[in-house]
Chains A and B, each alone.
Chain A
Amino acid sequence: MNSRRFFLKVSLLSGGGMLIGGHEALAQGPRRAQAPLDPNAFVKISPDGMVTLTGKNPEMGQGIKTALPMILAEEIDVDWKLVRVVQGDLDEVKFGSQSAGGSRSTPNNWDLLRQVGATARLMLVQAGAASLGVPVEECSTEMGRVLHKASGKSVSYGEIASKAAALPMPKPELVKPKDAKDYKIIGKSMPTIDLPAMVTGKPIYSIDFKLPGMLFAVYEKCPVFGGKAVSANLDEIKKMPRVTHAFIVEGNGDVSSLASGVAIVAEKWWYANEARKKLKVVWEEGPTVSHTSVGYDAKAAELFAAKPAFAIRKDGDVEGALAGGVKKVDAKYQYPFISHAQLEPGNCAARFVDGKLEVWAPSQTPGRGHRWQLVH
């Protein structure tokens, strides 16, 4: 609770600097945003009043493609029924940090998107006031319209959207996000954006993405982390039906990055996977071959029996409470080395043209892949 209050205080004090500060804290790579985010990257309003909002973070079932645009729509003050959401491409200069993890997407983007949405609303109010010929301070908004209550005049966002988009970005200190008591969208349960597509089988997942003439690869990695492919029956594999390529990938020596293995490429995935069944690889297993689950268990038992190395947290008198308890429950929990895998198998589509690699992938942290490419 204390840390949260502290954060709010800092953001109040620094005003628009909060946006910059947020970026500084989040961007770890060579790309780093230096200016407040442009609402035009997040919000497009067409002349008929339809609002297209960008969902900036990876959607993986946590609902963030619905939740973050709700914050924007609330602050812009539009009717949720007229909102369309598109998934943002990876562009951390334009959108700020784009990653999912630790249940942090909403708290990390809350201040940022309120500011972006409220900036868009202010720009719409400025354009609306100019269009109505009334002072900006006398205007308010309601469900996609700029109102001048004194004269009863109003104009729809659609009519003034292109004028608003061309205005200079207002100073962050002039931007006032809404009071919570005025929320119409935040706090309500809105249906998942992709719900109709999900129940009718529309191709919305990375694994459904296809490019014309695309080839499909399977990749056989060493069963031991850090192991290397030395040789394989590549000539035999290349003769398998519809297989177009088969080759060894050296890897870059980083266990958590590009592992060494054998790639088999075919016209369709199934042919590549059929060929994989005939693959014979000679592996150089490397030093981690000595790692086993049995070994990890033994090490855990050894550490558990030893004196605790340090206390992470200490509240009250645990020993005393345990000694004085009416009933004592003893339990041991073990957790295996396991992937927290999703149902969609790992996959990715890539296109290499003119020295540029374009990637479509189901990723929690797409920016990390981008930075990896820049480094290597």
Chain B
Amino acid sequence: MAIAMTLNGKSVSVDVPANMPLLWVLRDELEMCGTKFGCGAGQCGACTVHQDGVPIRSCLTPVSSVAGKKITTIEGLSPEGAHALQRAWMEMDVPQCGYCQAGQLMTAAALLAKNSNPTDAEIENALDGNLCRCGTYTRIKKAVHLAARLMQTSNASGANNNE
């Protein structure tokens, strides 16, 4: 069946079974491999994308349920890496293998969009479901704080973030 959605600001339509998870629509139908397949069971967070600004597990989300919704993936955060979180991630050299980081970034982006200055506890709570096999958690936390500061600076100077 044909399913239409807004993906990273653009209208797209795919003709796939209604129960195909959004993850596989992204990775195999639309050739957007930034969103990662980890566990396929909603347990690791590597496949996190935004549906209308809310982080969801794309591996468990049937594509039919996002018809007409706004989906944002890591490729839409900022293709040039200009989002405050991406800049903070690079500044802090956060990733090791990097496989979970798209999911970490998307969850963190949703957090900062509704809470511009989160505490340690709020960051831990929001990112609790995103596993990192390399154990980069302490750098992730530092980088979220740094991104929050960067966003405040850029908002003060009138610049606009993508999210």
Task: Report which A residues bind B (CB closer than 8 A).
Answer: 59-63, 189, 191-192, 194-196, 198-205, 207-208, 210, 216, 241, 268-270, 341-345
Contact = CB atoms under 8 A, between A and B. Distances in A.
B96 A343 contact: no
Interface in B15-65: 17, 20-21, 24, 28-29, 31-38, 40, 44, 46
Minimum-distance CB pairs A-B, first 10: A201-B34, A61-B97, A201-B74, A198-B98, A61-B96, A208-B33, A270-B24, A203-B33, A199-B86, A268-B28
Contacts of A189: 93
A364 B154 CA distance: 42
Contacts of A344: 36, 38, 97, 99
B79 interface: yes
Contact of A199 (B32, B35, B37, B95): B95
A226 B20 CA distance: 34
B90 A343 contact: no
B7 interface: no
Q: Chain A's interface: helix, strand, loop or mixed, by majority?
A: loop
Contacts of B32: 201
Contacts of A341: 133
Contact of B31 (A191, A192, A210, A269): A210
Contact of A60 (B28, B75, B97, B131): B97
B134 A61 contact: yes
B102 A343 contact: no
Contact of A270 (B20, B38, B95): B20
Nearest to B78: A200
Nearest to A340: B133
A191 B98 CA distance: 13
A342 B24 contact: no
A343 B46 contact: yes
Contacts of B102: 198, 201
A336 to B, nearest CB: 17
Contacts of A196: 81, 90
B37 A200 contact: no
Contacts of A210: 31
Nearest to B25: A270
Contacts of A60: 97
Contacts of A216: 28
B35 A343 contact: no
19 contacts: A61-B96, A61-B97, A61-B98, A63-B96, A195-B89, A195-B95, A196-B90, A199-B101, A200-B78, A200-B81, A201-B75, A202-B34, A207-B36, A216-B28, A268-B28, A343-B132, A343-B133, A344-B38, A344-B99
Contact of A241 (B17, B24, B89, B97): B17
A210 B131 CA distance: 26
Contact of B86 (A191, A192, A200, A345): A200
Nearest to B80: A200
Interface string B128-163: 000111100000000000000000000000000000
B73 interface: yes
B15 to A, nearest CB: 13
Contacts of B77: 200-201
